[in-house]
Amino acid sequence: MKLLDPRGFGMVCATGAVAIGLVVAGCANRVEGSPSPNASDLAAYKTEATSSSAAATSSRRAAAQAKAISDNCGPFPTTTGAGVSKYNEFVDAHDSNAPDYVAKRDGAASTLEDAANTVERGVSAVKDTLPPDLASKFTEYVNAARALADETRRMTYTAPVSALNDASKRVNDARNVVRDSCPKR
């Protein structure tokens, strides 16, 4: 029995492959038309992509807003509470004609200003993401705390207390409005 010659066998296979390729190429049809997407499919895709992008943007915006609210509402009671405590110490010193009255007055005014500055910095840092109504309530607190600090600095034993009382009521009201507007923990 004679074995196949590998070169001859390879040549037969190569010739067969070329012949089959020519037959397939000759039978192929050209597709008429222009290469463009289906207009309705393209419109649907663009609408879906836009919707998805808008949802992602909205989600990021909502997360940023929640963080801004938390970052400002969370420390607010502690930050402003220090001013309340120092102010109450000043009022007690004033009412009792305490020898450290001036120091308590100046300490209360400084603490109120520090609280106002801290709240203002927090709001300014996130002004575009904090809801405008909440931002305005924080700003009212800042203005009220500064006004109370000014009135506190002007206070003497003989000065009338009506302006101080009015400023104190304003800051308390502003503080309560912010606390009521912030989410409960």
- Could you report the per-residue pLDDT of 116-154, keeping only the tens digit for each? 999 999 999 997 899 999 999 999 999 999 999 999 999
* Distance (Å, whole) CA 69 – CA 84: 22
On whether residue 103 sits in a domain, the answer given is yes
On whether residue 19 sits in a domain, the answer given is no
On whether residue 2 sits in a domain, the answer given is no
Closest CA to 106 of 150, 171, 158: 150
pLDDT in tens, 19-44: 777 776 666 666 676 777 776 766 66
For residue 86, with 0-12 CB atoms within 10 Å meaning exposed, 13-18 middle and 19 or more buried, which class applies?
buried
Q: What is the pLDDT of residue 110?
A: 97
For residue 54, with 0-12 CB atoms within 10 Å meaning exposed, 13-18 middle and 19 or more buried, which class applies?
exposed
Residue reference for tokens 């409960």:
184
Residue 103, CB-side half-sphere exposure with 13 Å CA sphere: 3
49 has a pLDDT exceeding 80: no
66 has a pLDDT exceeding 70: yes
On whether residue 38 sits in a domain, the answer given is no
On whether residue 20 sits in a domain, the answer given is no
On whether residue 54 sits in a domain, the answer given is no
On whether residue 17 sits in a domain, the answer given is no
Angle at 32 between CA 28 and CA 34, to 5 degrees: 130
The whole domain housing 161 covers 60-181
For residue 108, with 0-12 CB atoms within 10 Å meaning exposed, 13-18 middle and 19 or more buried, which class applies?
buried
Number of structural domains the chain divides into: 1
Q: Token pair for residue 98?
A: 């305490």
Residue with the bigger pLDDT between 157 and 118: it is 118
Q: For residue 55, what pLDDT band results from cuts at 50, 70 and 90? A: low
In order of 15, 66, 82, 175, 179, the CA distances from 75 in angstroms are: 85, 14, 11, 13, 11
Q: What is the pTM of this model?
A: 0.69
On whether residue 84 sits in a domain, the answer given is yes
Q: For the chain, what percentages of helix, strand and coil (3-state, to nearest 5) are there? A: 80, 0, 20
In order of 63, 105, 129, the CA distances from 55 in angstroms are: 12, 53, 17
Percent share of the chain, pLDDT over 70: 79
Residue 129, CB-side half-sphere exposure with 13 Å CA sphere: 19
